Structure 1
Amino acid sequence: MTIMRAQHEGILTPRGAAYEMRPNARNHARTLLVRTARTMHALPQRQGQQAMNEQDYEAAKWALLHAHLVQATPEQRHLYVARSNYGDNQRALAWLADQPDLDRATALMLFWSVGAGSHAQYESLDDVPDYDRDTHQFIGLVQQRFLGGFYADHGIGFDPTRWDGAGPNEHSADELQRMPAQMLQAVDGEHHIDPFDEAYDEDYDDGLPMALVEQLYELADVHIAWEEANPQA
């Protein structure tokens, strides 16, 4: 099912009420989109000046991604968590994890996708290798918020044992013995999303709408041109 069809049929609803972005979030999204539009409008000139250094590039890239996530539907956020590039999505995942309007099913998917199963072996933070401690603390934060009812219910269903991503099935009972039972169980919901359904492939890449992907490619081209013109930078 495509995003447009899902929105039209009203299937992403919090227990029957239409999903609606909070007014302050809508205003924030508009501000971000205006700023991003100005950035994109300036790109041809900046490309000619070869002025998009690493700092400019990262800031412009995040502005585009952040603006999308702020106004994204619960389904679009679910797709992003499932299909985004986990080598370059830490900032976006951290931002999503801080949002109380993130669907609890998406939060559970996020929990498993960042490696909760592997981290269940550690009894305390002292047991975690230094290079993995930030991830371990992030997993603990998502778990704490999930169990505490921090996340919203927009009617999305998710079973970590019945999807193509990381989940409990990849680990033994002994490995998962310290994990709370709720993190192993399905989130009930009327709307079950298969994020790897081929129906999404035409309109999405790495969990992002194609129009946004094209903008990100344009940014990358401008930055690459700057790097080539400034090899010593």
Structure 2
Amino acid sequence: MLYINDILDPDFDWDEIEITEEEFDELSTELVIDYLKKHNPKERQMLALCWNFDNSKEVIRWIVDQPDTDKGTILLLYWYMQPGFYKKFADREECEAEAFWALEDYDIIQTIEKNYLSGFYRNQKYAFDPANDEYSDHYDWTSAYEEEEAKVKIPKELFLALEGERIENPQWEEGIPTEISDIMDKLCDVCEE
């Protein structure tokens, strides 16, 4: 079994290494989280701007669980996860029964709402307007929300635009920071098909 310290070692010998898809998922998740832990909340914002939401939700969960994550980053993640879809479920049990594959996202959305409304996120530097997303050609994420069909409503506070700094999308492929993309490529190369 490979460990995160192994793959971060620049002298690590990748020859004759093979990992399973499960090991790849675990190591790639650890690699991204390790990167985020070593950087400030700006990198979380940058990752959120280009993250492929088919990638590990553990990375998003880690970002959501950090009180120093910027509120603008959290609001962006919330709307990019399309919360309106999950509001058609009355509760977690109904989501599990009708769309078990969506449960992980459902839980993250619930955590964001609880944390956002309770003041868990202490910082707000980055701008985000869910009704006029400058990062996505001024897309209105709120337009997809059909409140009359929702069994549980999206809290009003999550519709409010946040003023602040707007940073450029770093265009990281799949949301993987450039600084660790070589290691990620090596992991891909040694992963069994």
In which range does the TM-score fall when normalised by the shorter chain?
0.7 to 0.9
Structure 1 unaligned segments of length 5 or more: list them.
1-31, 229-233
Deviation at 1:179, TM superposition (A): 1.7
Same amino acid, percent of matched pairs: 20
Superposition TM-score, scaled by structure 2 size: 0.80
- Please give the residue correspondences for 1:15-94 in structure 2 after superposition, counting only pairs within 5 Å: 36-38=7-9, 41-44=11-14, 47-48=15-16, 50-94=17-61
CA-CA distance at 1:174 after TM superposition = 2.6
CA contact (8 A) 2:84 2:146 kept: no
User: Which of 158, 164, 168 matches 2:142?
Assistant: 168
- Residues in 2 aligned to 1:133 and 1:58: alpha-carbon distance in whole angstroms: 19
Match of 2:186 in 1: 218
2:71 touches 2:125 (CA, 8 Å); kept in 1?
Answer: no
Displacement of 1:148 in angstroms is 0.4
Cα distance, 1:220 vs. partner?
0.8
Opposite residue 178 of structure 2, the aligned amino acid is M
Aligned to 2:122: 152
Task: Report the structure number with the largest CA radius of gyration.
Answer: 1
The two structures have a TM-score, normalised by structure 1, of: 0.68
State the 1:175 CA deviation.
4.4
After TM superposition, the structure 1 stretch with the greater mean CA deviation from structure 2, 140-149 or 166-175, is 166-175
- How many Å apart are 1:194 and its aligned residue? 5.0
List structure 1 runs of 4+ shifted beyond 4 angstroms: 32-36
Pair 1:180-2:155 in alignment? yes
Which runs of 5 or more structure 2 residues have no equivalent in the other structure?
none
Answering whether residue 85 of structure 2 is matched by residue 118 of structure 1, we say yes
Instruction: Tell me the distance in 1 between the aligned counterparts of 2:34 and 2:162.
Output: 28
Query: Structure 1 120/87 Cα, relative in aligned 2: closer, same or farther at 3 Å?
Result: same
In structure 1, C-alpha distance between the alignment counterparts of 2:13 and 2:149, rounded to whole Å: 50
